[in-house]
Structure 1
């Protein structure tokens, strides 16, 4: 245990990058295979569902056009209302399945984070699709979904005033831009505050039975006190090589488009996809690694202080 992870009370960008390099180097092959495999499976499922939705929509449109011609030329019986109803139902069903697939992908993303976190804490842990699936099955979907909703709700409420002011002063270009910038700043700030919510929830998961999931966000806000700018800089440094690499490879694709040389166009696109997939382990290791490196400087119990309600209050038996 702990072969990859030695916590320190002070995390610097240099120490984080060094530790991240060691973790990625040790777990790279298994992590990139698992991530790429998951992405391929998710894309196949999404494409199949999207294709089914498109086919159902095309079927409905075809029947509606035929119905229009039926009304115009008096060809009664050419299109039945039941066939249109069936098409509409198939289209709605495909949309429901599509949204459900997008809904479950969020859970799998968290499951990947948990799998990577376990690999950071235990160097004997092997990252695999089977392990990600196990994390997904263990996850309380109801609690995690409520955590997603609270995160989105609170972020939206914090940016609501500047969004409203931006709409009110939309005729003034300068003010509109100022309020737009403020909205982005607030959104980034709140996302930094709530960044550790999924990991802190995991630390106290048994205590969340019957409790509000907003406590995880409260704990994350306390956990990230005086760490937000540090975490932001670490995220920027971590993602910067990806941005630079994608821009360079994107220039190859742009050159192919500019000169109508399709070889370079497709080469640039393929290289961009390959580079992104190759860099994914760095991105997915970053958040759990930061949490594990900083947790020693924060009392997890203190971050949840005065949040959870007693059993008596939950059951209404408190005196």
Structure 2
């Protein structure tokens, strides 16, 4: 069943229809709103409109019809993945840059989950995120642990909650440092100015990132970062917050940055207690080729 409601525009100045709806519909992106307008789900004074940039004036009544979304379900797809470790309980993979972890609106397939379901059996009732206990962003590369059954999922999620596992990243960031290491303790939540972004906000969730400066170049630095908590975009937002955004970051970094395939951020090391044997497991993986080549170029300019 479609969701439908009506809004009335009461501002003295004219406004673009899509811009106005972007401020009113908190759970939708501007591109999703524009898609609704183009598909004639939005009416102005009872009539459908063809253009997203149409101007509305005070007194206009806007009817918003939101069609029911088809349920998303992850299905196996024959997509190559790099398996670092596997047994009957856990799977550790090296996720490449450009791959989304699990299906969602806008990314219904070709995700890491689709690849994993083809590779092996995951016994999990979650049809969208089977086996997923933590995530890394689409353009962040590196190690992820996957639970193959409920025993493993409960154990790995408990370790994440208790902060007893190990997650270390490599990042190339803007600028140089006077200190050799540091701790960033700043709460994170949704940005009040851009819903696609996270930000340091007073009433946000507790978030702590530790960093160590490994190398410094002209205008850039190589860091090792350790997550104490695992909030959405945590490293990217924390580094922006202290004035050292991750190089190549299209969301939180400057436009004048290193050329790559998104942010230069790599989940290098992963450690956890095995859910069944209780043995400590630890894995490390080199960053992708573009990351290594960029480091060589920065070193050559020293």
Task: Provide the TM-score with structure 2 as the length reference.
Answer: 0.29
Q: 1 or 2, which has the higher helix percentage? A: 1
Task: Provide the TM-score with structure 1 as the length reference.
Answer: 0.28
